[in-house]
Amino acid sequence: MSFLKDFSKSLLDAINKLRGSTGDEAALKEFIRDIQRILLKADVNVNIVLEISKKLQEKIKEEPPQGFTRKDLILKELYDSLIEILGGRTKHRLQLNPDSLNVIMLVGIQGSGKTTTAAKLAYYLKNRNYKVGLVCADTYRLGAYHQLKQLAEKINVPFYGEPDAKDSIELALKGIEALSDKCNVIIVDTAGRHKNEQALIEEMKLMASKINPTHVILVIDATIGQAAYNQAKAFNEATKIGSIILTKLDGSAKGGGAISAAKATNSRVIFVGLGEKIEEFEEFDPVSFTNQLLGLGDIDLLSRKIEEARIEQKIKAEKFMRGEFNLKELVEQIKEFRKLGPLSKLLSLLPGFSIELPEDALKEAEKNLDKWEAIINSMTKEEIANPKIIDKSRARRIARGSGTDVKDVEKLLMAYNMMKRNVKRLKRLGFNVPIK
Ligand code: GDP
Ligand code: MG
């Protein structure tokens, strides 16, 4: 099976296993181990795998926003991490100027897929209304001329080459000259007979200094996995106008390693080759690539929902700290706080925390939370919004309705008033609501 399908399937299997589990700590840990195994199998560098595992592990301890589970949190983290190791949220594009001549020089070691990619890119750009021409500057390999000529004929774009030429730079210059009046994009296919990064880069520099391309693209065979790191790094250091095309992502078990290695060097991957056919070629976007891997983009959706919930929670907490809360919101917020640990412990971490602060009220609040919930459920909307209207007779009615004592109702009201007064003081002391 191909890398993409294989990688995607193992990720989906792990995700479905997690979704079907109870989501307890053991299940989450097993999920993390599954992910580690899958990433390592895709040849992602072990340090990157450890980094991701650490981030996933942190989610086991974290409290999810209301309405979400730890399973959700960990899936979101996986999603974000995948996007990150595959290139981040910025999509890099090939920037062409339609009003002037663009000369694209393709470099890469022999067999990496340059000639195929030259034709794929030509076809891709032709379909986007560029006038594309192909130049064969490979004087090294027998058959290079015929290979590109055939491809050019197949996709019907102008071609320049000489079957018996000796000097590749001279040939490239002649080709550019010959095609420049009918084309605005000229793609120069080179020999790249080197197996070693440094020699390849030297050759590229020499040629680039003579033909002065507007773009240099390094073609890397993704089946080499994380070994792509050295090539991408040397290349990235050598040229400012360079970007990368990864080929054979279809056929390699190590594709993930190649993409993440390129990202680790801060290189810009702009296209990927996904098969031998001309049209098996795509612009590379880490986000949509990740969505393809994880299927249907539902984790993308989940991820956005979690973000929204967090923002909502933050707004609520900020309102709370301004003392803007009704009784119901007080109970909700105390519950939120409680998830972070005992309130008294939380407060004790604050510098300058003194006894005049409502520790008693908070302790009381913690103890009485369930009772308070019942009390509030017996109140009318008006009473919740404006507890001042709760007089003795209302308090009796509420107590009866909630199976509590009038004293409990009074205690709640007292705590509420005290909290309202005191949060403002907390805020002045620099107490910020801890938000994940
Ligand atoms: P060059 O030596 O760098 O010019 O490499 P070629 O373009 O001649 O390609 C070498 C081999 O890789 C050929 O058999 C191509 O069909 C194959 N190839 C190139 N790109 C891809 C790709 O994206 N997927 C697959 N499966 N094969 C590819
Ligand atoms: Mg070639």
pLDDT digit string, tens, across residues 294-337:
865 566 667 777 777 777 777 776 777 777 788 888 777 777 66
Point out the ligand 1 atom lying closest to the alpha carbon of residue 274.
23
Distance (Å) from CA 429 to ligand 2 centroid: 69
Point out the ligand 1 atom lying closest to the alpha carbon of residue 272.
23
Counting ligands in written order, the one closest to the CA of 112 is 1
User: Which CATH topology does 322-428 take?
Assistant: 434 Repressor (Amino-terminal Domain) (1.10.260)
Q: What is the mean pLDDT of the chain?
A: 85
Show me where the domains of the chain are located: 2-89+296-301, 102-284, 322-428
Point out the ligand 1 atom lying closest to the alpha carbon of residue 116.
7
Point out the ligand 1 atom lying closest to the alpha carbon of residue 118.
7
Q: What is the C-alpha to C-alpha distance for residues 121 and 64, in angstroms, rounded to an integer? A: 45
Counting ligands in written order, the one closest to the CA of 137 is 2
Distance (Å) from CA 254 to ligand 2 centroid: 23
Q: What is the C-alpha to C-alpha distance for residues 417 and 244, in angstroms, rounded to an integer? A: 63
Distance (Å) from CA 112 to ligand 1 centroid: 6
- Residue 104 is encoded by which pair of tokens? 């694209």
User: Which CATH topology does 2-89+296-301 take?
Assistant: Four Helix Bundle (Hemerythrin (Met), subunit A) (1.20.120)
- Residue of 14 and 337 predicted with greater confidence: 14
Sequence-ordered list of residues with C-beta below 8 angstroms from that of 284, at least 6 positions apart, any chain: 87, 91, 92, 246, 269, 270, 271, 272
Distance (Å) from CA 215 to ligand 2 centroid: 18
Kindly state the average pLDDT of the residues 332-358: 53
Distance (Å) from CA 114 to ligand 1 centroid: 7
> What pLDDT shows up at residue 337?
64
Point out the ligand 1 atom lying closest to the alpha carbon of residue 192.
3
Asked if 427 and 321 count as a contact pair (C-beta separation under 8 A), the reply is yes
Closest-CA residue, ligand 1 atom 26, reads 275
Q: What is the C-alpha to C-alpha distance for residues 423 and 36, in angstroms, rounded to an integer? A: 44
Closest-CA residue, ligand 1 atom 12, reads 113
> What pLDDT shows up at residue 136?
96
Within 6 A (CB) of ligand 1 lie 108, 110-116, 247-248, 250-251, 273-276
Closest-CA residue, ligand 1 atom 9, reads 113
Counting ligands in written order, the one closest to the CA of 245 is 1
Closest-CA residue, ligand 1 atom 2, reads 111
> What pLDDT shows up at residue 358?
53
pLDDT band at 198 (very low <50, low <70, confident <90, very high): confident
Q: Check whether 240 has a pLDDT greater than 70.
A: yes
> What pLDDT shows up at residue 356?
40
Q: Check whether 395 has a pLDDT greater than 70.
A: yes
Q: Check whether 348 has a pLDDT greater than 60.
A: no
Distance (Å) from CA 75 to ligand 1 centroid: 35
Q: Check whether 341 has a pLDDT greater than 60.
A: no
Kindly state the average pLDDT of the residues 187-195: 84
Block residue for tokens 């009220």:
361
CATH of 102-284, one of 3.40.50.300, 3.40.80.10, 3.30.110.60, 3.40.640.10: 3.40.50.300
Kindly state the average pLDDT of the residues 251-263: 86
Angle CA 232–238–243, to nearest 5: 50
Q: What is the C-alpha to C-alpha distance for residues 91 and 369, in angstroms, rounded to an integer? A: 49
Asked if 158 and 133 count as a contact pair (C-beta separation under 8 A), the reply is yes
Point out the ligand 1 atom lying closest to the alpha carbon of residue 247.
23
Could you give the 3-state DSSP secondary structure of residue 178? helix
Sequence-ordered list of residues with C-beta below 8 angstroms from that of 412, at least 6 positions apart, any chain: 327, 368, 371, 372, 375, 376
Asked if 196 and 225 count as a contact pair (C-beta separation under 8 A), the reply is no
Lowest mean pLDDT among 28-37, 92-101, 276-285, 336-345: 336-345
pTM of the predicted model, to two decimals? 0.72
Counting ligands in written order, the one closest to the CA of 108 is 1
Counting ligands in written order, the one closest to the CA of 168 is 2
Distance (Å) from CA 120 to ligand 2 centroid: 13
